[in-house]
Chain A
Amino acid sequence: MMDNMFSLDNITFNSDATTKDEALKFIGHFAQEREIVKSEKAFYKGLKKREKEVTTGFKDGIAIPHCKNKTVLNPSVMVVKFTNPIEWESMDGKPVKLAFSLAIPEGENQQHLKVLSTISRALIDDAFTSAILNTNDKEEIYNLIKEKIVMEDN
């Protein structure tokens, strides 16, 4: 289950975005590149709409831009580490360094959603988020996330 939702290739450090809007555009582009979505524009608009309802900026430099949209082909998790800190109207006012982006197709099945909710819950765990923030090793990030999800699943 996890494997087709999240892979090492869903992690990128290559964003030089400086604003929230640029970051969302980048995520849209990255999602299309990874063949997670059909249209990067539609996904970007979906993310933008969700941000308008309420910011997804969390705390300690983390954001979770996400949306449910029919342009999404496969339910997926992407991790984007930004080179520049980005103002995201986060809860503690701190700029965002890392985005967990969740892409959900319309009418998605329960198991996929369950995985996504597990990731959301994992973000409350300070040890988990600081471990991810403090590494520049994609493999380590991948393993941390996978571990968390497998652990929660059992």
Chain B
Amino acid sequence: MTNKKIVGVTACSAGIAHTYMAAESLEKAGEEKGYDIKIETQGSIGVENALTQEEIEQADVVILAVEINIDMSRFFGKRVLRVRASEAMKNAQGVIETALEKAEPYGEKGTKAGGVKMGKTEEGGFFQHIMAGISYMIPMVIASGLILAIANVAAFQRDAAGRIVNWGFDDSTIFGELMSNLFSVGQVGFTLMIPLFAGFVANSIAGKPAIAAAMIGAYIANDAEMLGADAGGGFLAAILVAFLVGYLVRLLKKIPYPKLIQPIVPIMLIPLVSTLFISIIVIYVLGNPIAGLMSSLYEGLTVLSENYAAAPVIIGVVIGAMVGFDLGGPVNKTALIFGTAVFTDTVTKYGIEGANFVPQTATQAAISVAPLGIWLASIIFKKKFSATEKVSANSAFGMGIVGVTEGAIPFAAQDPVRMIPAFVAGSAVAGGLATGLGTKFYGGIGSPLGTFIGYIEQPIPFVTWIFSVMTGVLVTALIIGFTKKRVD
């Protein structure tokens, strides 16, 4: 622990006694420990023993024992501990140790400088952490989403007449096998993206010790099998996990650990305790509600579909709304499963003539609405999207156009309050229009292109389907455009 470089500034209101006593105390305590320490005094004499920029840069930590406001700009980005001058006089040793262990980088958002908070204050907390997570997640969403999209296009097997007869990969050809593999690659990305996001949200809240627990917790929360549900919790569960872990780790960091075990606290103790905690919570507390939510939604849909068989538009709206709600989470998955189940059940029972296409048609009409809506909004309302958001929006288009709804997740996670209602509304419109207009989705991709790549029976060929989906997309885009704030 020797050869640590410490710099500091002392200053008090009179600049006569405390300034120098604090400086002397810190220097003495630092030298006793064998640290390389230099303290600048800002007293009535003026600045003495001034720190050079080079010394500040080389320092491990900056200690400010000041009772007046001093120029902080020199210390931007350095780890800084600010205490009262009297504190440095009373317990210089303690101040130095605290500084080495706990000083926080100055100038980051939320840093307190003389009572003034740096950066955004009001939106700080929640969204700042979410944004941090998203910035790490986006590259993975884009890479895996586009790979998945490419593979998806190749997954539609046609008969001699060019109709889609099956969804899946033809492993007997080299091309089919490659596409099948690419599909798996994309799925790996989607599996990793949820824990990655949670890990970095938690990292933003509580630093490195929180990453392990948040990633493991979010993975479990998104793993249907471990939860005992039919689908994982998706990104909404990931947000919940990340915040639980983040604030738990913050608490754990506050415990005064005995000196002996301090070195293993951040690398072993906190990760272990928090991972155990969140895993138990997710498996035993989160799993049941998700499974329960899904089965009650499923039952609700069954009741709806039995009672309102004559009003497909109602079912279409409800199912569309569900698809747009959590983009791959339990609500979305329930709708998809229900759609497929109703279709396959009725096909087996009554044959294709008597099959119930309504729920499945609604899910497929709605599934591309969120990512395409985002993309359209970014085209119409250019000023409301930052450069990074535009890149994400373009990749959302790539995913949306082949029916991958997850392309919209970064936007939903970043701004759930505005985005989710927009997605739900647009998806409901698309679902309601498609079913209300009597469209029957046999197979293909759930996007406007489905009418070409797929087989959809509709009153006016091509037009009805495209009109239904694109109206939903437009609704989503307009709501986003009118609610989203301008980017400065």
Contact = CB atoms under 8 A, between A and B. Distances in A.
6 contacts: A54-B85, A58-B89, A110-B45, A121-B21, A123-B21, A124-B21
B19 A54 contact: no
B63 to A, nearest CB: 16
Interface string A115-136: 0111011011000000000000
A68 B20 CA distance: 16
Interface residues of B, number: 25
A54 B20 contact: no
A50 B14 contact: yes
Given A54-B86, A59-B90, A91-B86, A117 B28 contact: no
Interface string B15-40: 01111110111001000000000000
A117 B13 CA distance: 14
A66 B21 CA distance: 13
Given A66-B14, A66-B16, A124-B28, A113 B67 contact: no
A123 to B, nearest CB: 6
Given A58-B21, A91-B89, A67 B14 contact: yes
A108 B43 CA distance: 13
A120 B25 CA distance: 11
Given A50-B13, A121-B20, 17 more contacts: A54-B12, A54-B13, A54-B18, A54-B86, A64-B17, A66-B17, A67-B14, A92-B90, A104-B44, A110-B45, A116-B16, A117-B16, A118-B20, A120-B18, A120-B21, A120-B24, A123-B21
A34 interface: no
A106 B28 CA distance: 31
B278 to A, nearest CB: 43
A102 B90 contact: no
Contacts of B395: none
A37 to B, nearest CB: 15
A64 B20 CA distance: 12
A76 interface: no
A80 B45 CA distance: 25
A92 B89 CA distance: 11
A120 B16 contact: yes
A53 interface: yes
Contacts, number: 73
A112 to B, nearest CB: 9
A114 interface: yes
A50 B19 CA distance: 14
Interface of A: 50, 53-56, 58-59, 64, 66-68, 91-92, 102, 104, 108, 110, 113-114, 116-118, 120-121, 123-124
A68 B13 CA distance: 11
Nearest to A103: B16
B24 A124 contact: yes
Interface of A is mostly: mixed
A117 B23 CA distance: 10
B44 A113 contact: yes
B21 A113 contact: no
Interface string B268-295: 0000000000000000000000000000
A67 B48 CA distance: 20
Contacts of A108: 44
A41 B344 CA distance: 98
B20 A117 contact: yes
A64 to B, nearest CB: 5
Contacts of B86: 54-55, 91
B10 to A, nearest CB: 11
Contact of A68 (B14, B24, B48, B89): B14
B305 interface: no
Nearest to A63: B17
Contacts of A118: 20
Contacts of A116: 16-17
Nearest to A108: B44
Interface string B37-56: 00001011110100000000
